[in-house]
Amino acid sequence: MAIWNLGSINADLIYAVPHLPTAGETLAATAMDRFLGGKGANMSVAAARAAAHVRHIGAVGADGGWMVQRLLEYGVDTRHIARLDGASGHALIFVDAAGENQIVIFPGANRAVPETAIQAALAEAGAGDTLLIQNETNGQALAARIGRDLGLRTAYAAAPFDATAVQAVLDDLDMLILNAVEAAQLEAATGLSPAALPVRDVIVTLGAEGARHFDTVSGEFRDYPAVPVTPVDTTGAGDTFTGYVLAGLDRGMAMPQAITQAMRAAAIMVTRHGTADVIPDLKDVLAARF
């Protein structure tokens, strides 16, 4: 089976600065790093590291060839990533000596994915495949509708959270993954608790507390405690978790096993600095002594 991921691809441009710039100030950075990021790309890499066949649907600009190449090197099928004129999505991240940061994100090509590219990609999808969407691209409602029509397992990672965006796809979803803050925001917007949502499986991630899975058909939920580790950088934990859960389910694992494995992967992830480049692979997860 395959996982089709309509998702963002961002260049994370990280500048070390002596202090965070104030209005009107011109500042020389002392170092610069460039990494592959974006929730979509992170989740594709996580699912590929978890041994799934991942087909990424998205777009980059003229400056984005290196990101497509990086995804390919990480085992992601990149044939459905459109190359557009203009800029790729990117994040300008200023980090001062104390580790404080300022971030400006430009969505660029991520919000200009051609609808024809989404349709052409999903025309290759088959029953039993998974469709994953987040809220960093355009085309979410279109993809979710096609996913429902084709009988795909359609999953939505509701980040960055926007109540209108989630509600636009809610009726087409089989699975919703969101953190505790996002779950509270969704409940405030809809009046529905996770257990009452019209989505078969809802997973609420709880950071160091673990995760709770609601089976809304049976009306039951189950808690999964997190693996105890000492975190150094929690960036990408949720993306790693989502990629691993879906890869596990795609390989035929039952939900408890898929969640347990995803929590092990996310626990390793929080002990590492970085995003897509350092997402643990299945070998690391299976070998971990916890």
Which positions lie near ligand ADP, rule CB under 6 A? 159, 179, 205-208, 210-211, 226-227, 229, 231, 234, 237-238, 241, 263, 266-267, 270
CB of 182 closer than 8 Å to CB of 159: yes
CB of 13 to ligand ADP, least distance (A): 21
Of residues 21 and 210, the one with the C-beta less far from ligand ADP? 210
Of residues 96 and 233, the one with the C-beta less far from ligand ADP? 233
CB of 290 to ligand ADP, least distance (A): 10
| Radius of gyration (C-alpha) of the chain in whole angstroms | 18
For residue 20, what are the contacts with CB-CB under 8 A and spacing of at least 6? 94, 96, 100, 101, 102
**Widest Cα–Cα separation across the chain:** 59
Of residues 126 and 160, the one with the C-beta less far from ligand ADP? 160
CB of 123 to ligand ADP, least distance (A): 31
CB of 239 to ligand ADP, least distance (A): 7
Q: 226 vs 27, 70, 232, CA distance in Å?
A: 41, 30, 15
Closest CA to 129 of 165, 87, 169, 77: 77
CB of 60 closer than 8 Å to CB of 85: no
- 3-state DSSP helix/strand/coil percent for the chain, to nearest 5? 40, 25, 35
Of residues 43 and 95, the one with the C-beta less far from ligand ADP? 43
Cα 268 to the center of its chain, rounded Å: 17
What distance in Å separates the CA atoms of residue 139 and residue 145, rounded to the nearest whole number? 10
CB of 136 to ligand ADP, least distance (A): 13
CB of 55 closer than 8 Å to CB of 44: no
Of residues 1 and 227, the one with the C-beta less far from ligand ADP? 227
Of residues 8 and 78, the one with the C-beta less far from ligand ADP? 8
Of residues 62 and 181, the one with the C-beta less far from ligand ADP? 181
CB of 215 to ligand ADP, least distance (A): 17
Closest CA to 197 of 222, 215, 211: 215
Q: In what order do the strands lie in the sheet with 211-215?
A: 76-83, 53-60, 2-6, 130-134, 153-157, 175-179, 201-205, 211-215, 220-224
Of residues 142 and 208, the one with the C-beta less far from ligand ADP? 208
CB of 146 to ligand ADP, least distance (A): 26
CB of 179 to ligand ADP, least distance (A): 4
Q: Name the closest residue to ligand ADP (Cβ).
A: 238
